[in-house]
Structure 1
């Protein structure tokens, strides 16, 4: 018996039964379809068509967006041994145990949609609709032996993130999908719109996007740097709005906002986002959402300022934009606790408060 010999010959019409719209060559062999029969069915004008190497669409006419997504995943997914019960016979490999349109969720090993297609699946309005995409990016481990072909563009990574399931499709997290989209974008306006929507739409925090862009070595591109500056400013403005709302909605005393602290007649200590002079409590938003190549110096400066303030008897509360977004009530409790315990501490040194 050769590799292409049918295992259990059956009529071919049972394969295109409305549920099975895509199959790999390995899956077709488990249904008794030889390589020669597959080639015959995929001839011009035939009932099937080969969308990608070893991936066959079991009907004529253009594929749907769903079919293209699953075809790309079937092409890129590492094949695994199927279980004898309810799947292919033991010892026969199959990429996808359940077909798109059938019951259950297809299982794709070591492959997920990324880039613009992933952002569209995540609900971005500024990414193109799926039918307009000529290629669909698929993320795989770096050592996989795959090539970009047809509508599948292979993107490699040394560390595959945990996929998120969106309408039954494994999709890269937003920050990673953004980085992969940015790698292919030269339109500064489109790039800026995507990054702005990521923050305004609450899809992810600026720091997560910047980390991924830095990891992909994209922060040396001028149009990316400009877009990131806008992203950081956008994220900062949103975080400040959340902070104002948290203070007011949870009945905290009104602080003085965005001020510089100095010693009387002495040097500048540093700026803080909010300060309660009567309680000697300062609040700072996480400063690490800036370009990563400056993070070490930025964080060292932040740590120096915090130590200086604490030596002066000033309590420093550190909040992150993400926590302000996800659990503002808890963050309000953190601030309230710092204010309430002020009377139990030694009096703080006097500092001069100036507008920043």
Structure 2
């Protein structure tokens, strides 16, 4: 027996009958399949097909949605295959190929939103192209169903059905970049907020970085998004007061000094305790310039002015109200209880807003 004879690969049937029938050229080589043999099997009428450059579908029929997603990731990701001794093909194990590792590639755009569960996003089979997010300097181009989207900094992936997927705000920005239908954009942004996927500020931040706020239909959708986000936060604030047994405040009022200047509006106010709650829903609006901080400075001045008058101002972000409502209720209750130990606040006039 010649001990230099390489081990024979297992019959190729074990690949085509595996749990996922998509492999790269490098993975096939690791299994002992030469490029010539792969090309032979991809001839017209053959049992395989080349789905993307360097990516093979190990059956002749149309790919499933799962196969398409894995194929575009395999095409776009930085290649990684097991190391073996020269001439020795990879022998599949129980853990392979169930755990693919896709380095520097994330599903994004509409496909990512569909995977996240968005009802306003189209079903995967209807998508002609699947967006894949890669680092800016990667040398890979769009091909077939894979559309390459580049970014200076790849966000941390979220795993959905075993696939690396871009976070919702980034996926939204990449989807909106390709949409010209204002109603479609508005539906996606609205669902992001109503469905609790993310806060408006994070979406606006991604749209700003993508330079999409120069488009009229995106601006209209963002204005609706901000209004939607505030309305939802206000509803949660009402529910928190009632569910956690807090005293009923006066809602959405303006404060001013008697015969003096306007002090600003607050979302809830307990006049007898001089405690105010303000929802911190600040987000850059379309047309805002990064260097223009007048609105932000006014927000801080109002708070400082009220506190100098002896009014305790509790600021709550929509995310905290959503994720830690009990803690926010405790903060407000503590402020109300501490009112008895403070010096009396200045008298202010409370008006409907």
- TM > 0.5 between the two? yes
Q: Which residue of 1 aligns with 2:300?
A: 303
**Would you say the 8 A contact 2:109–2:131 is kept in 1?**
yes
Structure 2 match to 1:34: 34
CA contact (8 A) 1:19 1:102 kept: no
Q: Residue deviations 1:274-307, cap 9 Å, x none?
A: 1111111111001313427367332211101001
Which residue of the partner structure matches residue 18 of structure 2?
Answer: 18
- Offset from partner CA, 1:145-179 (integer Å, 9 cap, x none): 11011000000111111111111111101111001
Determine if the alignment matches structure 1 residue 242 to structure 2 residue 236: yes
Query: What residue in structure 2 maps to residue 265 of structure 1?
Result: 259
Answer yes or no: is the 8 Å Cα contact 2:205–2:284 preserved in 1.
no
2:184 pairs with 1:190 = yes
Range 296-305 or range 190-199, more displaced: 296-305
In structure 2, stretches of 5+ residues that fail to align are 1-5
Distance 1:304 1:328 in 2: 27
* Cα distance in 2 between the residues matched to 1:251 and 1:281: 16
Q: Which runs of 5+ in 1 are unaligned?
A: 1-5
- 1:171 counterpart residue number: 165
Mapped partners of 1:278, 1:14: distance in 2:
76
Q: 2:297 is paired with a residue of what secondary structure?
A: helix
- Misfit runs of 4+, over 6 Å: none
Contact 2:128 2:145 in 1 (8 A): yes
Give the match for residue 125 of structure 1: 119
CA contact (8 A) 2:46 2:60 kept: yes
Residue correspondences, number: 343
RMSD: 2.3
Cα distance in 1 for residues equivalent to 2:246 and 2:135 = 49
1:214-235 Cα offsets, whole Å, 9 max, x none, are 1111111110010000001111
Q: Deviations over 1:106-164 (max 9, x none)?
A: 21111010000000000011100000000000000010011011000000111111111
- Report the Cα offset of residue 105 of structure 1: 2.8
Report the alpha carbon displacement of residue 345 of structure 1 after superposing the two structures with TM.
1.1
Structure 2 equivalent of residue 73 of structure 1: 73
Helix, strand or coil for the counterpart of 1:108?
coil
> What residue in structure 1 maps to residue 326 of structure 2?
329
Q: Deviations over 1:31-61 (max 9, x none)?
A: 2221111111111211100111100000011
Is the Cα contact below 8 Å between 1:119 and 1:127 reproduced in 2? yes
Cα contact 2:257–2:263 (8 A) shared by 1: yes
3-state SS of the aligned residue for 2:277?
A: strand
Alignment TM-score, normalising by the size of structure 1: 0.91
Match runs of 1:190-229 below 5 Å: 190-229=184-223
Matches within 5 A, 1:30-179: 30-80=30-80, 82=82, 84=83, 88-89=84-85, 104-179=98-173
Partner SS state of residue 16, structure 2: coil
Check the 8 A contact 1:255/1:276 in 2, yes or no: yes
Q: How many Å apart are 1:11 and its aligned residue?
A: 4.2
Q: TM (normalized to structure 2)?
A: 0.92
- The 8 Å contact of residues 288 and 298 in structure 1, kept in 2 or not, is answered as no
Corresponding residue number in structure 2 for 1:3: none
Instruction: Write the deviation string for residues 283-336 of structure 1: whole angstroms up to 9, x where unpaired.
Output: 100131342736733221110100111111111100011111111111000000
Verify the 8 A CA contact 1:262 1:270 in the aligned structure 2: yes
Partner of 2:3: none
